């Protein structure tokens, strides 16, 4: 053997993880402080694995690991040694969420020598992440002076032990005064930057949509009993899936049924079951056995790029959550909510969100999109919503204080006192503003130079309609009929639809309601439809394109609208019209159904208006005939802007680059206004920008006189419009355009500040 050569000797010692876990359970049951428990644990692990060193590093914060207990390293290094995530072998394990097993640690990539620990005499190193459901809480390490490779059994055994340490950390077993405060999880302030999906602000109490299940007894005292518990929970899970598949509402084929069929297959997957049973055989309780499999699934999800495989792994993750609920005897989220409930979830469907209803003060989602069904429901209910708030479900606990800022797209969990006070001041200012808006409720949106602007509200749920008399809207400029379909398990029958539309008109109490026909496709899929695999679904087979092909769906909805009107005035609007021929075909279908209803002797609407949403630039250049035969046009600002600028509004990298007050976009809107004026076609603007006071002002200055927005936005828009001279605003815009400005926003904002407008 040459001088300096390291002789690698496989240990062959193995480790009986069940026996080791029993010893750990015994020492954890003994009285003592958190530090004493952790000290005893490293002693037991080192003795059982016949290593000179065992150390536990816990996360002090998101980027820092602290040595909290050791046997073999210098005692004075405990709570003195800290490493950044990614720094040294311990930091690498935390960053990569994977074990490191080396016989020659000093020559391993990333090794960092820490003189204060005295670890330079130890060659062999085995470290594993202490993780729980994909969240790394720390690192568990064993070391020996002998240069040897640890066996697979030893690696597996240490991973099993790390799972138990993670669960005990989550339970607060090691928390104590002074230095051991580091072991307390969910204690530090957490700031989540997401994306604003519904404006507003709220301070309240966290309510987790999915219960946070912790194994209070992580070690299996009776493995056979734990296997039986797992088997019973799996049987209950399979029965739950079978029950959903047998439900009459899901008898028809479609994506919903295909998802459940996939769940049924995965729930019976022998490999999945075998891995969980092996975890129990290693000494883990049934709950921790499922959690270990779930953690490994989430780790694989982070590494897999293939969309199909990620979807299957996501299904496994969801099944594991359901299985944990059965094991814990949890029935799902409680509806016994605190008065200031703020929902925190990875994601949520529209029907589930409606179950909570207006009881929620705010919502924070780890996933989601601004155009998702949940976002639409949240806007309808005027609940502040932040989406894509990374790691918030891992950090939040039921009962935590949380601040939700839907204007900025951020959430403060367990905020510091100065942050809380500043937020309370913001809430107080908003409350004062609400009083000012309420005082204007019954007054018209009349500018100082006598220009009257009609303000309408957008809706899509029966829950929206009570807002109509209270928000100051003159009617409903957009009623999204698809939401009634999307929150149900099957397409509602014609009679049910007719009754629903009648109730909407009843609630409107004579005010105009414009019903938009089904805007489905893209991410909005009916229960009996299969999701289309399209490279760009927002520009694919959706809205009027789809319903003209699925004539049965369109005809049934038109019949329901005609009958639901019960002799009252009716306004119908087609979405996503790209050319005149599409509008003509839709209009002919409506007129054909009117003739059929007349022949049947059914009551017809007192008046019938048929309009179109202008959401594609192509429709602005339609032949004059289109503007003559269309009873009204509504500019769909959300889609029109993304197609005008070729910037996906779901893509955060590009959507904020393009401004509604860009001179080219305002010029395009002005052209549409001129074409409508030439033919006497009523025009409105509908979308998020209609509800933003400065944008609304600019749109009115270039000629829009009807705006449709979410109910909560009517007060702020009306307040600003009543405070300004529209002709002066037009002058500011024209001057900025003449100077070659790309956007009129800077000039408009300067002018508004100069006149002290109520922004």
Tell me the pLDDT tens digit for each residue of 77-103. Answer: 999 999 999 999 999 999 999 999 999
Residue 667, judged by CB atoms within 10 A of its CB (0-12, 13-18, 19+), counts as exposed
Can you tell me the distance from the alpha carbon of 635 to that of 666, in angstroms, rounded to the nearest whole number? 13
* Cβ-based neighbours of 421, under 8 Å, separated by 6 or more: none
pLDDT tens-digit map of 273-325: 888 888 888 888 888 888 888 877 777 766 666 666 666 666 777 778 788 88
- Confidence at residue 7, expressed as pLDDT on a 0 to 100 scale: 45
Same fold, 17-183 and 439-452+648-680+682-759: no
User: What are the pLDDT digits (tens) for 324-333?
Assistant: 888 877 544 4
CATH of 190-210+333-426, one of 3.40.605.10, 3.50.30.10, 3.30.2130.10, 3.30.530.50: 3.50.30.10
pLDDT score recorded for residue 430: 84
Residue that wins the pLDDT comparison between 463 and 759: 759
Q: Are strands 445-446 and 195-198 parallel, antiparallel or unpaired?
A: unpaired
Cα distance between residue 583 and residue 408, in whole Å: 39
Please state the pTM of the whole predicted model: 0.67
Highest mean pLDDT among 60-74, 261-275, 395-409, 594-608: 594-608
Q: For residues 557 and 657, which has the higher predicted lDDT (pLDDT)?
A: 557
Confidence of residue 657 (pLDDT cuts 50, 70, 90): confident
In the prediction, which pLDDT does 331 show? Answer: 47
Positions marked active-site: 373, 686
Q: Which of 672, 674, 669 is nearest to 689 (CA)?
A: 669
DSSP bridge partners of 405: 201, 410
Q: What is the pLDDT of residue 5?
A: 47
Query: CA–CA separation, 342 vs 336, rounded Å?
Result: 13
Query: Which one has a higher pLDDT value, 548 or 213?
Result: 548
Q: What is the mean pLDDT of residues 615-621?
A: 96
| Residue among 358, 316, 323, 317 nearest 337 (CA) | 358
Contact indicator for 21, 161 with CB cutoff of 8 Å: yes
Q: Indicate if the pLDDT at residue 251 is higher than 50.
A: no
DSSP sequence for 223-284: HHHHHHHHHHHHHHHHHHHHHHHHSGGG-S-SHHHHHHHHHHHHHT-HHHHHHHHHHHHTTB
Task: List, for residues 468-484, the tens digit of each pLDDT value.
Answer: 788 889 999 999 888 77
Architecture of domain 17-183 in CATH? 2-Layer Sandwich (3.30)
Residue 637's pLDDT is what? Answer: 94
Per the CB < 8 A criterion, the answer to whether 38 and 183 are in contact is yes
Label residue 257 by pLDDT band (50, 70, 90): low
Q: Which two tokens stand for residue 573?
A: 């609007």
Mean pLDDT for the chain?
Answer: 86
pLDDT digits 0-9 by tens, 151-195: 988 998 899 889 889 888 888 888 888 888 877 777 788 999 999
Strands 633-636 and 683-686: parallel
Q: What is the pLDDT of residues 526-539, one digit of tens each?
A: 545 555 566 676 77
- Can you tell me the distance from the alpha carbon of 737 to that of 709, in angstroms, rounded to the nearest whole number? 27
User: Once rounded to an integer, what is the mean pLDDT over residues 579-606?
Assistant: 96
Question: Cα separation of 690 and 696, whole Å?
Answer: 5
Listed residue (727, 681, 601, 652) closest to 197, CA to CA? 652
The residue extents of the domains of the chain are 17-183, 190-210+333-426, 223-328, 439-452+648-680+682-759
Indicate if the pLDDT at residue 615 is higher than 80: yes
| Window from 174-178, 587-591, 707-711, 735-739 with minimum mean pLDDT | 174-178
**Which CATH code, of 1.10.3720.10, 3.90.1150.10, 1.10.274.10, 3.40.640.10, is assigned to 223-328?**
1.10.274.10
Q: What is the pLDDT of residue 330?
A: 55
* Distance, CA of 209 to CA of 505 (rounded, Å): 34
CATH of the domain spanning 439-452+648-680+682-759: 3.20.20.60
Among all chains, which residue has been given the structure tokens 């009257």? 452
Q: How far apart are CA 413 and CA 386, in angstroms?
A: 13
Q: What is the mean pLDDT of residues 117-141?
A: 90
Kindly report which listed range (249-253, 342-346, 439-443) carries the lowest average pLDDT score.
249-253
Q: Which pLDDT tens digit goes with each residue over 421-435?
A: 999 988 898 888 888
User: Of 728, 733, 721, which is closest to residue 453 (Cα–Cα)?
Assistant: 721
Give the model confidence (pLDDT) of 15-34 as tens digits.
Answer: 667 778 888 878 777 888 88
């Amino acid at each position: 053997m040459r001088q300096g050569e390291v002789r690698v000797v496989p240990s062959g010692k193995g480790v009986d993880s069940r026996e080791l876990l029993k010893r750990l359970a015994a020492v954890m049951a003994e009285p003592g402080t958190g530090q004493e428990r952790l000290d005893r644990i490293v002693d037991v692990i080192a003795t059982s694995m016949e290593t000179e060193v065992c150390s536990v590093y816990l996360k002090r914060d998101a980027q820092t690991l602290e040595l909290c207990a050791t046997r073999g390293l210098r005692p004075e290094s405990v709570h003195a040694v800290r490493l950044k995530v990614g720094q040294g072998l311990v930091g690498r394990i935390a960053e990569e969420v994977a074990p490191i097993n080396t016989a020659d640690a000093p020559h391993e990539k990333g090794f960092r020598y820490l003189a204060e620990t005295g670890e330079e005499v130890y060659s062999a190193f085995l470290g594993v992440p202490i993780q729980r459901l994909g969240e790394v809480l720390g690192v568990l390490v064993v070391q020996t002076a002998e240069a040897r490779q640890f066996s697979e059994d030893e690696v597996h055994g240490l991973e099993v032990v790390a799972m138990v340490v993670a669960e005990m950390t989550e339970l607060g077993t090691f928390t104590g005064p002074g230095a051991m405060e580091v072991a307390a999880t969910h204690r530090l302030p957490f700031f989540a930057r997401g994306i604003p999906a519904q404006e507003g602000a709220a301070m309240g109490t966290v309510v987790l949509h999915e219960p946070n299940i912790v194994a209070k007894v992580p070690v299996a005292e009776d493995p056979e009993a734990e296997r039986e518990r797992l088997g019973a929970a799996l049987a209950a899970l399979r029965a739950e899936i079978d029950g959903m598949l047998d439900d009459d509402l899901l008898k028809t084929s479609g994506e919903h049924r295909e998802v459940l069929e996939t769940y049924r297959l995965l729930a019976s997957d022998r490999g999945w079951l075998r891995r969980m049973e092996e975890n129990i055989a290693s000494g883990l309780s049934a709950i921790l056995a499922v959690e270990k499999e779930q953690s490994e699934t989430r780790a694989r999800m982070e590494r897999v790029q293939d969309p199909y495989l990620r979807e299957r792994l996501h299904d496994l993750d969801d099944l594991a959550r359901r299985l944990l609920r059965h094991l814990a005897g949890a029935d799902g989220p409680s509806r016994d909510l605190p008065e200031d409930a703020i929902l925190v979830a990875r994601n949520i469907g529209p029907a589930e969100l409606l179950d909570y209803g207006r009881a929620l003060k705010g919502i924070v989602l780890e996933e989601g999109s601004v155009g998702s069904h949940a976002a639409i429901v949240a806007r309808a209910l005027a609940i502040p919503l932040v989406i894509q708030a990374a790691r918030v479900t891992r950090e939040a606990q039921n009962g935590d204080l949380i601040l939700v800022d839907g204007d900025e797209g951020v959430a403060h969990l367990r905020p510091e006192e100065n942050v809380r006070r500043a937020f309370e001041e913001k809430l107080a200012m908003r409350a004062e503003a609400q009083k000012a808006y309420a005082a204007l409720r019954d007054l018209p949106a009349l500018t100082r130079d006598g220009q009257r602007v009609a303000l309408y509200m957008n809706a899509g749920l029966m829950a929206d309609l009570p807002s109509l008399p209270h928000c100051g809207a003159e009617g409903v400029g957009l009623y999204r009929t698809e939401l009634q379909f999307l929150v149900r398990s099957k397409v509602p029958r014609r009679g049910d639809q007719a009754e629903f539309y009648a109730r909407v008109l009843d609630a409107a109490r004579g005010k105009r309601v414009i019903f938009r026909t089904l805007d489905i496709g893209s991410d909005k899929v009916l229960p009996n439809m299969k999701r289309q695999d399209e490279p760009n679904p927002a520009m694919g087979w959706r809205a009027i394109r789809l319903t003209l092909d699925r004539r049965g769906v369109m005809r049934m909805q038109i019949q329901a609208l005609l009958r639901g009107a019960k002799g009252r005035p009716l306004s119908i609007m087609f979405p996503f019209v790209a050319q005149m021929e599409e509008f003509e075909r839709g209009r002919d279908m409506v007129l054909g159904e009117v003739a059929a209803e007349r022949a049947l002797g059914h009551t017809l609407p007192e008046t019938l208006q048929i309009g179109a949403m202008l959401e594609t630039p192509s429709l602005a250049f339609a032949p004059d005939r289109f503007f003559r035969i269309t009873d009204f046009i509504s500019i769909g600002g959300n889609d029109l802007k993304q197609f005008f600028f070729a910037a996906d509004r779901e893509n955060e990298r590009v959507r904020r680059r393009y401004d509604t007050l860009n001179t080219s976009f305002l010029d395009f809107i002005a052209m549409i206004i001129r074409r409508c004026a030439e033919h006497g076609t009523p025009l409105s603007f509908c979308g998020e920008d209609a509800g933003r006071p400065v944008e609304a002002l600019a749109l009115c200055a270039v000629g829009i006189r009807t705006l449709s927005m979410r109910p909560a936005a009517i007060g702020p828009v009306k307040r600003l419009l009543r405070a300004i001279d529209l002709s002066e605003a037009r002058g500011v815009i024209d001057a900025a355009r003449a100077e070659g400005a790309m956007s009129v926003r800077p000039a408009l904002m300067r002018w508004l500040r100069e006149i002290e407008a109520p922004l």
